[in-house]
Structure 1
Amino acid sequence: MRPPEDDVTRFWTLAGSGRQLAASTLSRLPAAPDLLLANCLYAVRPGSVADLDQDLARAAADAPQFRVMVESDTPSWVEAELLLRDWRPETEYRLILPAGRLLTGPAETAVRPAIEVDPDWSQRQALFRLDHLEEDDRLGRGRRPVSRTEQVIGHRRALEQFATYWCTTDGDQVTGFVCCWQTPQARGVIEDVFVHPAHRGGGLATAMINNAVTRLRQAGVGDITIAAEVGDTPVRLYQRLGFRPAGINRCYVPAT
């Protein structure tokens, strides 16, 4: 049972458990059953529609919400089949900072290990909740329940055994955070970049990403990947900092 091909997808599945199905692999996190990031079907290689049906049914029995990842060995007809069943495609940019490169521009803001400032995750949970409400309002949809945010926090707390969260502060108040992880192959991933709205525009995101890159470089990491939703504004910041487009990652989620 291999890990997902995409480093970012692999990062999100670190806290889950893998289960080999007939023609695919299910990674799931029982503590966060409604969280698509933490529950996914990958290495999808069915030989027939019946194989696909079997694995989708088995996955649904174990994970009420999951996404289907498209990888290099996913048969093209699988995407067509999911579209015909009204599964919704989602795409994300993958941008890479090549090995040996640091970010452009200095970082003058102090960045601290989040576990030292916010060991119980209460401050980061408040920021995650704010992020969720902003996203829901921007997309014009109903606000997700608090229980969904709590599942996200449970997922991130589980990830903290593999990855490191860093934060900026105003006194003892967390104003922003970022996460970084090193793959076993010495590549890097930066994720979960968020700054409180009242503190945006002052270079905090740049400082945190710069710190993450520096830490990964000190650990001997080569290429560093960062993800951005297609159409979302952070991708412009990542480009200005020196990350370059490397591709598009696709997945399919159940229709809502």
Structure 2
Amino acid sequence: MDTATSLLVGQLAQYLRGLARRLDPGSGWYGEFLRRDPEGMRACLDGAAIPPRDVLESLLLDAAASAGEVRYAAGLREAAAAAWDRAPGGARQLRELLVRAAEQRVAAEAALASLTARPDGVPAAPGERESARERERERAWLRDDAARAADRHRDLTARLSALPVEPARPPRVPGPRREGATTRLVAEPPESGPGVWEPRYEGPAADFGVQPPESARPPRVPGPRREGAT
């Protein structure tokens, strides 16, 4: 995490810790978050995670925060979240959280549908008694879970859409190969005449008048000598 991101996330975490000190950990939404997800709440307070938008709003509701403080807190979170998302791995984490939020919403809505389909007064399991009041309380929690999951999905989608799109790298396409593209050595000693012969090269290099370097050339081979040659 770079310095700018650390400062923004740290500023948000510092504000959250100050906000938490004003709240009762045994009641309200803060107490409920600590009971249901203590590790997640601690990560937000320590600056190891960005708090979901609905969590911040619930904590501000517990604190009876003013409209000005609500705007200030929302701005802190927005700046910290934007910096967090642009950090390496931010987009991947957003996609993972999106999948989790969708799964949580589906699970909450399925549980709510199952509970609603069961008439009041009918036990959910043998030997279990439920009052209409208890049933309605459970429905309220499931509706809240579904609404929070839906809000998180919208927020995460917006954050992911705000990230710059990386240009796609075009795939490498090999160029066409010419027939006989391999340079070959043609060793043809002269039919007559004394001395030595020079190897002749054929192929693309020879087509452009390019000869291999001296180090790549084979040693000179003496040619056949004629009788009486001096």
Structure with max Cα Rg = 2
Greater relative contact order (CA < 8 Å, ≥ 6 in sequence) = 1
Larger relative helix fraction: 2
TM-score range, shorter chain: under 0.3
Report which of the two has the higher share of strand: 1
- The TM-score with structure 2 as length reference comes to 0.27
Q: TM-score of the superposition, structure 1-length normalised?
A: 0.25
